[in-house]
Amino acid sequence: MRDTPNQKTSGTVARVSVRETLTHIASKRSALMLALAFGCMVYVDVGFKTWTPTFLIEKFGFAPEKAGFSAVFYHFVCAFVGVMIGGRLTDRLALHRKTIRFEANAVGLLLGAPFIFLMTRGSSEWFCFAMLGLFGLFRGIYDSNLFASLFDVIKPQYRATATGLMLSFAFLVGSFSPTVLGFFKMRFGLPFGLASLSASYVLGGVIILIACALFFRKDYEGQKHEG
């Protein structure tokens, strides 16, 4: 596209090397910590999607088709609401508060964590659905700011690579989740395994808060001056 930031006024594309791209990304500590936090989030997401249907079958006697539907429907309906609320609100606040996207990511993980834990504790299926929904609401707030927060600290010409690397890393981490929860199921029971996912959300939220407090200003201002 002719008006993209990484294009020269002559109309020729400004090419960047792989080494230059990786060096830029590696220099942004806040971006690296966003990737770590995203790994924590995907670890939860993959484990939750894999094992929640089994949990509903064992706890409430659901048929497999009802368990599969219920495990994700209430969660993602509320996640859609969270995306719409979180995205619109942070887009407005970002004009005056540069750290708002990082803060929204942290809020989404930290406030979502209790509902992952509570999902496994109620005796009513509707209580479980409500907790899945609230978990989804805050997950949506996180999702709405995930890549926007990354772009706050990465220059435009490196963003596609940074996004791809962050996705690859996060889903590599997430691939271990079903196995770990399967081990927990055999040793401690499936409710314990699913509840343990809340700790990963808390860890991710804390990582983002540290990145925001220690590295964001330098990384954001560096992008501003370099761009």
Q: Are 40 and 174 in contact (CB under 8 A)?
A: no
* Total Cβ atoms within 10 A of residue 121: 11
Structure tokens, 8? 């020269």
Region of poorest pLDDT, from 17-21, 60-64, 99-103: 17-21
Q: What whole-number distance in Å separates Cα of residue 106 and Cα of residue 214?
A: 14
Domain range annotation of the chain: 18-226
Three-state DSSP class for residue 13:
strand
* Total Cβ atoms within 10 A of residue 126: 9
Give the fold, CATH level 3, of 18-226.
Answer: Growth Hormone; Chain: A; (1.20.1250)
CB neighbour class for 199 (10 Å; exposed up to 12, middle 13-18, buried from 19): middle
Q: What whole-number distance in Å separates Cα of residue 165 and Cα of residue 171?
A: 10
Structure tokens, 26? 């590696």
pLDDT tens by residue, 149-191: 999 999 999 999 999 999 999 999 999 999 999 999 999 999 9
pTM of this structure: 0.90
CB-side neighbour CA atoms (13 Å) of 227: 17
